[in-house]
Amino acid sequence: MSRRPGACLRCCLVIFAIVSALAVCGPALYWRFKKGVLVAHSKSSCPPCVCDCPPPLSLLKIAPGLANLSVTDCGSSDPEVKKEMEKQFVDLLTEELKLQESVAEEHMRHMNITFGEAKRVASLYQREAEKCNAATETCEEAREWSEALLIQEKKVTNLWEQRARQMGWEGE
């Protein structure tokens, strides 16, 4: 009983595959068959067609300047290009190395300027931090000094209050 649904599913898949193949290939086969039948009928009833078409345009007629693109003529009229092309390979490499060296020197000069500026700004921030620390220390010393004075004043006030109570003052 369990094999029957599997067999039914397989049969449905085979039928689906055949229908799909016919749906994809069917129209092409139909038109090929129909064209073959028409050719067989047309050979007997129609004379051959005579075409009087103009020849296709060539590239030379469309753009005459494009035909003269030889590499040997490249830059021969320009004296600067001709001079560059005559240089030896070693000279070109030497020139490239000099260019890279000058770029590296420029980069190093820019880095040195940036580094000097960073050192200057760091020094400025360091001085500001030292000023801030000195001001904090001064404030802390003043606070401690005023706290000590306050304690001393409280002692003197208590002493005077005790003397006043001894003399008969009753307070507020």
**Within 10 A of 84 (CB to CB), how many other CB atoms are there?**
13
Query: What pLDDT does residue 126 have?
Result: 95
Q: Distance between CA 170 and CA 138 in Å, rounded? A: 42
The answer on pLDDT for 100 being more than 60 is yes
- Identify the band that residue 36 occupies on the pLDDT scale cut at 50, 70 and 90: confident
Q: Distance between CA 102 and CA 27 in Å, rounded? A: 71
- Identify the band that residue 89 occupies on the pLDDT scale cut at 50, 70 and 90: confident
More confident position, 101 or 171: 101
Backbone phi, then psi, for 115, in 5-degree steps? -65, -45
3-state secondary structure the chain: CCHHHHHHHHHHHHHHHHHHHHHHHHHHHHHHHHHHHHHHHHHHHCCCCCCCCCCCCCHHHHCHHHHCCCHHHCCCCCHHHHHHHHCCHHHHHHHHHHHHHHHHHHHHHHHHHHHHHHHHHHHHHHHHHHHHHHHHHHHHHHHHHHHHHHHHHHHHHHHHHHHHHHCCCCCC
Q: Which amino acid is at 99?
A: L
Over residues 65-70, the mean pLDDT reads 57
Could you tell me the pTM of the whole model?
0.35
Q: pLDDT per residue over 132-166, tens digit each?
A: 999 999 999 999 999 999 999 999 999 999 999 99
More confident position, 57 or 155: 155
Pick from 2-6, 15-19, 26-30, 34-38: least confident: 2-6
